[in-house]
Amino acid sequence: DKVISGTASLKVTLISQDPDPVGPGNFVDVRFKVDNVGSQNAKGVEIQLLPRFPFSLDPGDSGIRNVGSIQGGQAGEEGVIVKYRLRVADDALQARSEIEVKYRHAGLDWQKLEPFLIDVKTPDAVLMVDTVKVDPSPLQPGQEGTLTMNIRNVADSLLRNIKIDLDLTGSSFAPVGSTASAYIGRLESGKSSEVIMKLFADPQASSKAHRLPLRMTYADDSLAIYSKNYTVGILVYDGPSYVLNVEDRTLQAQNKKGKVTVSISNTGSGDMKYVTLEILPSDKYVVLSKDAEYLGNLESDDFETAEFEIYPATNGLLVPIDVSVRYKDSFNKEYADKRQVKLQLYSSAELKKYELTPKQSRVWLVVALFVVLLAAWIAYRRWERKRLRKRQKEAEA
């Protein structure tokens, strides 16, 4: 409230702003009340508003309002209301911003009042996670790392009582040395603060991008409370690991073809995708069947098999089989590995000694036995018919 004395005593009061507070880019209606608390009439009263940034009047509006005469003692509910409509700049900052008002009456000089304050508030006080770094990156299962987050105040006012909580519930990570929380007492507009947390990746953590919820609560200059939810990504990567084996085979002896079943077991923590096994050419053997088989995806601790028909082309009893393994890892990185599995063959003496008669020979043995039994049955039937005919002739004689 301001009191101006002269031949008449005028009192100018800011009675309202609507809306209160007002946001950038909006209009605000401000109302003043002019009272004459003196005993003399005030004639030709004029009020002029002088806007400062971030406020402005409509083009062509000088801000002068002709109030006319105000009688002595005209005050309180009988005071004169003067209204202005102001536009707030789009880039206005959150603050109590000043407007100036002056008045005159009876043609005297303008009298300037002390500035009035209008509350401007930005729509939201924004606190953001500017950058996230993990060292080392990617983390390996069972490894400890440092998570560094740069928290920036992009609001136009001070933010305070900032609490940062990283939710590790149900995740593959655990905090090391402290909790997964941090606190910042105050952060000025445009400033940043670094938050550091130590994390341990579970030894069974999957090779992938792990998404962790991050929640920040804070207050602005007027102590209004805000809450923001973000997601922090942490990469965990364990290099591919697998085992190739000869799972089964009918090929046991030299100079004989047979089937060989090759198995692949995913012993790593990540998935193996689009797996293809291929038997590579060699002078040690000849592939009689298709030389490649697509196995699809292998999850951790999973396995698949592929069957090939092979003829050994070496005099040795140990046949090295060259295998190409093509696949992609959890991050779609392509691999083409060349591995080797050993196929042990046996001599005739070893086959008998270890009772490892090739399955194919056993089949022929069964067939031969069947043929012998069939021949014996046919011979018996012929002998039986001859015997019956002989008895019949003897009976007729």
pLDDT tens sequence across 111-122? 999 999 999 887
Q: What percent of the chain has pLDDT over 90?
A: 60
Per-residue pLDDT, averaged over 56-71, amounts to 93
Per-residue model confidence (pLDDT) at position 3: 42
Per-residue model confidence (pLDDT) at position 269: 83
Are 275 and 333 members of one domain?
yes
Label residue 298 by pLDDT band (50, 70, 90). very high
**Position 364 in a domain:** no
pLDDT at 284 over 80: yes
**Position 389 in a domain:** no
Q: Which of 224, 280, 279, 258 is nearest to 344 (CA)?
A: 258
| Bridge partners for 211 per DSSP | 233
Label residue 288 by pLDDT band (50, 70, 90). very high
Per-residue pLDDT, averaged over 248-268, amounts to 90
Are 251 and 315 members of one domain?
yes
**Position 374 in a domain:** no
Are 115 and 6 members of one domain?
yes
Contacts of 13 (CB under 8 A, 6+ apart): 1, 2, 32, 33, 35
Number of DSSP helices (H) and strands (E) in the chain, helices first: 2, 26
Are 59 and 162 members of one domain?
no
Output phi, psi for 258, to 5 deg.
-170, 170
Per-residue pLDDT, averaged over 314-343, amounts to 93
Output phi, psi for 154, to 5 deg.
-100, 10
Are 292 and 319 members of one domain?
yes
Are 115 and 138 members of one domain?
no
Label residue 346 by pLDDT band (50, 70, 90). confident
Q: Kindly state the tokens that stand for 340.
A: 């080797």
CATH number of the domain that residue 43 is part of: 2.60.40.10
* More confident site: 249 or 135: 135
Are 69 and 177 members of one domain?
no
- Amino acid letter for position 147: L
Are 152 and 230 members of one domain?
yes
pLDDT at 6 over 60: no
Are 27 and 96 members of one domain?
yes
Output phi, psi for 391, to 5 deg.
-65, -40
If you average pLDDT over every residue of the chain, what do you get? 89
pLDDT at 359 over 60: no
pLDDT at 123 over 60: yes
Per-residue model confidence (pLDDT) at position 1: 42
* More confident site: 367 or 364: 367
Whether the CB-CB separation of 151 and 195 falls below 8 Å is answered with yes
Whether the CB-CB separation of 292 and 276 falls below 8 Å is answered with yes
**Residue 186 class from Cβ within 10 Å (0-12 exposed, 13-18 middle, 19+ buried)?**
middle
* Boundary-marking domain end, from 210, 236, 262: 236
**Position 33 in a domain:** yes
Per-residue pLDDT, averaged over 308-323, amounts to 92
3-state secondary structure of 354: coil
3-state secondary structure of 22: strand
**Position 383 in a domain:** no
Q: Which of 287, 285, 76 is nearest to 277 (CA)?
A: 287
Per-residue model confidence (pLDDT) at position 216: 95
* More confident site: 185 or 386: 185
**Total number of domains constituting the chain:** 3
pTM over 0.75: no
Per-residue pLDDT, averaged over 31-56, amounts to 92
Question: What's the chain's Rg over C-alpha atoms?
Answer: 47
Are 211 and 267 members of one domain?
no
Strands (E), 71-115: 80-88, 95-104, 111-112
Per-residue model confidence (pLDDT) at position 362: 58
Residue 18: alpha-carbon gap to chain centroid: 43
Domain that holds residue 210: 127-236
**Position 396 in a domain:** no
